[in-house]
Amino acid sequence: MFHSRRLKIGGMRELYAVVAFVERQFNLCKRYWTWELVFLFYTVINTLTIAFIAVGMQKQGHAIQPDYVFYLVIGALMWGFLGIIFHEISNSISWERWEGTIEQTFMAPVQRLTHLGGVCSFAVLYGLLRTGLVLVAMTFFFGMGLPKANYAGALLVLGAASLSFIGLGLMAAILPLLSPEKGSQATHIMEGVLLLVSGIYYPVEALPEWLQSFAIFSPATYALEGVRKALLQGAGVAELWPLAAKLLLMSLLFVPLGLGIFHTAETYAKRAGLLKRNG
């Protein structure tokens, strides 16, 4: 009984620590709220620019499907959501360096899973918030022309995709850990590859055949397919479940792999003396 009580107390302590890390990340956003506003403005403008490509094609008389605008908007919104998760996790190490807390955080008596769990939870919550704000802006310009939309199904796919991207974000987070000077910029390489092969703004079939084979390894491929089916075609859970299952299986691979790679990189960084503000 005493052992069970200790486990319960320890579990609650770790849960409070996760919430504390989430709160800390939100406080950092509040401190630099002007920059967050700039990034939000850029995301809205970028999404509008992509959507107006379809509008411009329609104005020029090109024969394109009426829902092509929403096809592009959904791609931009999805990439924005998944990109935020990816960036917030991978850049969490850079935040630690900028704030001068990286040594304290990595030497604190807190499990690394707790630390990273808080960062990942914040990334998902912040991604949903940012995506919701961008969606409001898109509605103002284009309305909600999605009469068949199955929003519950889209959320199911989003949730499964988030887990997969958390694993990829953990892998990318080792770059700023090992290379303080250019590591955070190097994460754009991983992001660019995913953007290229996942069919964000075009069908995967538009890629050369040799490049299409890489799309099956990207969780964004299945996430986009599922969300588009849910919002544009009104696909139900039964039709979306195979895609969600693939994403969950990928998360079972990517999350443990990401944690393992991060642990290896952290051990090396401590031995090499990289846990300091300026590297």
Residue 258 in domain: yes
Please work out, in degrees rounded to the nearest 5, the angle formed at the alpha carbon of residue 21 by the alpha carbons of 15 and 26: 130
Q: What would the two tokens of residue 117 be? A: 């769990």
pLDDT value of residue 279? 46
Buried b (16+ CB within 10 A) or exposed e, 140-166: eebeeebeebbeebbebbbebbbbbbb
pLDDT value of residue 103? 75
pLDDT value of residue 190? 82
Domains of the chain: total: 1
Residue 10 in domain: no
Q: Find out whether 249 and 88 touch, Cβ atoms under 8 Å.
A: no
> Integer distance in angstroms from the first to the last C-alpha of the chain?
47
Residue 68 in domain: yes
Q: What would the two tokens of residue 18 be? A: 């996760």
Residue 216 in domain: yes
Residue 54 in domain: yes
Residue 5 in domain: no
Residue 162 in domain: yes
pLDDT value of residue 144? 63
pLDDT value of residue 241? 93
pLDDT value of residue 137? 84
Residue 26 in domain: yes
Domain span at 221: 17-272
Provide the residue-wise pLDDT of the chain in tens; the chain has 279 residues. 544 555 455 567 778 888 888 888 888 888 888 988 998 898 889 888 888 887 787 777 666 666 778 888 888 888 888 888 888 887 787 777 777 777 777 777 778 888 888 888 888 889 888 888 888 888 888 776 667 788 888 889 988 988 888 888 888 888 877 776 666 677 778 888 888 898 888 889 888 988 888 999 999 999 999 999 998 888 888 899 999 999 999 999 999 999 999 889 888 888 887 776 554
pLDDT value of residue 10? 53
d(CA 226, CA 161) in angstroms, rounded, equals 10
pTM as predicted: 0.83
